[in-house]
Amino acid sequence: MLFAIFFGAGNLIFPLSLGQAAGENLVPAIVGFLLTGVGLPLLGVIAMGVSKNEDVQTISAKVHPVFGLLFPVVIYLTLGPLFAVPRTGTVSYEIGIVPFLPEALRTSGWGMALYSVVFFAITYLLSLNPSKIVDRIGKILTPVLLLILFVLLTKSVADPLGSTQVPVGLYESAPFFKGFQEGYLTMDTIGSFVFGLIVISTIRAKGVESTRQIAKVTATAGFVAAAGLALVYIGLAYTGATSVETLGHLENGGLIITNVSNLHFGLWGNLILGIAIFFACLTTSIGLIVACASFFNKLRPSISYKNYVLILTIVSAVISNVGLTQIISFSIPVLVAIYPIVIVLIALTLMGPALKNRNAVYTWSVLFAGIVSVFDGIKAAGFEPGIIGFLGEHLPLFSLGMGWLIPAILGGFLGYGLSFRQKAYALEEV
């Protein structure tokens, strides 16, 4: 279950792109990617296991009540209609449909427009009354997709398309840190806040009630899931790294896997892979729409669940027509800005028993990390005001995209110290 939750079809594309760009520096790059693409999501689920049924709103509210309202909204919009759901449509189109289209439809944009109407109409209808058919499709498709990937990756490793090439961009000077940030694009660490409670509920349904035992069971299952995810990501990254000599540098991972599959197995390979990817993306799209519509309906019940589903699917369909490469580009600044906050919240939740509800630690640690991560996001968007240069010169690790780390730690210590003063004032009031 853990593996299926975190391995969506969209996750196929990022290790491939990483491999192409990292080239000869593949090893440090994939290690960084695995930390954020595999390790942190599993820590997020474990954090939910030790948080005593707290959800993302409850945890965020420890920072500040207003933050507890706004940050979950940002999380669900990111996982929903802005990035993750439209990506399911574009990934399934790039991999499953584009190889079979005439050149005129590929370049005109009409192909994606027609496909998005069909894909999101199905998503809408099934999201209105999500039934066991979605679970059954997922249970069948996950093993099928894994089998197809196993065959493709085995062929790619045994008969690579070429040798690894010279790394490009930051993969040349800082491959580990670039890979670390590339793992943000999977959005799985953010998703761990949303789906973690599902895993915990499943464990409790088996009769496990102890918080320590729940964390232990989750961690044990997590190692199995992490091993599977890591093997798939490493295989995909290697496939991408050895494809540049034959394919050149392509725009996105969807184009890479489509071309690799075609070269190894022809159009039949593209057809089988495309069908599996379509259903995997469809189930992911439905799951995210249901989760987002349920959240917003709970937040504002005056709008019905059905209307939320309609709004979310329409917005997702429109944004999907921007194209996969553009969606990824637009998502990077947002993810760079919010991911450090999510990482800090996971770390603090794991340390919850030791902190003994000292909410000042949450407040100052998230505040300091958030200020720096927002400037990271501005920099990732291509804007560099004077303060960006100042931070790059004086803040350790800022140029590597990790400038938030030391401020987060300092903010935690500051909050811990202030919490003693707050308790002293409370005692005086009593």
Q: Cα–Cα distance between 229 and 235 in angstroms, integer?
A: 10
Q: Compute CA distances 42 → 34, 36, 132, 192, 353, whole Å.
A: 11, 10, 26, 7, 19
Q: How many helices (H) does the chain have, and how many strands (E)?
A: 22, 0
| Residue pair 215/50 in contact by the 8 Å Cβ criterion | yes
pLDDT at 322 over 90: yes
Nearest CA to 254 out of 277, 287, 232 is that of 277
Which CA distances in Å does 173 have to 167, 182, 329? 9, 15, 21
Q: How many CB atoms within 10 Å of residue 382?
A: 8
pLDDT tier for residue 428 given thresholds of 50, 70 and 90: low
Amino acid letter, residue 210: S
State how far the alpha carbon of 143 is from the alpha carbons of 7, 130, 250, in Å: 11, 21, 28
Condensed to tens digits (0 to 9), the pLDDT of residues 162-173 reads 999 999 989 999
Structure tokens at 298: 């709970």
Q: How many CA atoms lie within 13 A of 21 on its CB side?
A: 26
Mean pLDDT check: name the lowest of 81-85, 178-182, 202-206, 407-411: 202-206
pLDDT recorded at residue 280: 81
Output the pTM of the full model.
0.88
Compute CA distances 288 → 3, 28, 86, 237, 295, whole Å. Answer: 17, 32, 11, 26, 11
Confidence check: pLDDT of 152 > 60: yes
pLDDT at 180 over 60: yes
pLDDT in tens, 329-368: 999 999 999 999 999 999 998 887 777 768 899 999 999 9
Averaged pLDDT for residues 132-144? 69
**What one-character DSSP code corresponds to residue 369?**
H
Integer angstrom CA distances of residue 333 from 61, 76, 280, 417: 24, 17, 27, 33
Return the higher-pLDDT residue of 147 and 307: 307
Find out whether 49 and 196 touch, Cβ atoms under 8 Å: yes
- Pick the residue with more confidence: 170 or 145? 170
State which H helix or E strand residue 47 sits in.
helix 40-50
More confident of the two residues 360 and 2: 360
Nearest to 170 by CA among 405, 380, 407, 391: 380
The pLDDT of residue 218 = 76
Please check whether residue 222 is in contact with residue 45, taking contact to mean a CB–CB distance below 8 angstroms: yes
Residue 426 scores a pLDDT above 60: no
Q: Tell me what pLDDT residue 9 has.
A: 66
Q: In 242-358, which ranges are continuous DSSP H helix?
A: 244-247, 253-299, 305-320, 324-350, 352-355
Lowest mean pLDDT among 208-212, 324-328, 420-424: 420-424
Q: Is the pLDDT of residue 425 over 60?
A: no
Domains by residue range for the chain, with CATH? 2-324 (1.20.1740.10), 351-430 (no CATH)
pLDDT band, residue 424 (cuts 50/70/90):
low
pLDDT tens-place string over residues 232-277: 999 999 999 999 999 999 988 989 999 999 999 998 888 988 888 8
- CB-based contact 201:56 (threshold 8 Å): no
The DSSP 8-state label assigned to residue 395 in this structure reads S
Per-residue pLDDT, 47: 83
For residues 364 and 411, the answer to whether their CB atoms sit within 8 Å is: yes
- Residues with Cβ within 8 Å of 229's Cβ and at least 6 positions away in sequence, in order, are 3, 6, 7, 37, 38
The percent of residues in the chain predicted with pLDDT above 90, rounded, is 52
Highest mean pLDDT: which range of 50-64, 184-198, 299-313: 299-313
DSSP states along 64-110: -HHHHHHHHHHHHHIIIIITHHHHHHHHHHHHHTGGGS-HHHHHHSH
Range with the poorest average pLDDT among 123-127, 129-133, 335-339: 129-133
Q: What is the mean pLDDT of residues 172-188?
A: 92
Tens of pLDDT, residues 360-411: 999 999 999 999 999 999 999 988 888 888 888 889 989 888 999 999 999 9
With 0-12 / 13-18 / 19 or more C-beta atoms within 10 angstroms meaning exposed / middle / buried, residue 418 is middle
- Please give the backbone phi and psi of residue 300, each rounded to the nearest 5 degrees, phi first: -140, 85
Average pLDDT, the chain: 88
To which residue do tokens 């990824």 refer? 328
pLDDT band (50, 70, 90) for residue 429: low
Say whether pLDDT at 132 is over 70: no
Take residue 67 and report the two structure tokens written for it.
Answer: 């933050």
HSE of 390, CA atoms in CB hemisphere, 13 A: 5
Cα gap 179→65, rounded to integer Å: 34
Higher pLDDT, 38 or 136: 38
- Rounded mean pLDDT, 322-335: 92
Of 225 and 248, the one with more pLDDT: 248
pLDDT, tens digit (0-9, with 9 covering 90-100), for 52-96: 667 788 889 999 999 999 999 999 999 999 999 999 999 999 898
* CA-to-CA dists, residue 321 to 11, 74, 84, 429, angstroms: 20, 22, 13, 59
pLDDT of residue 208: 81
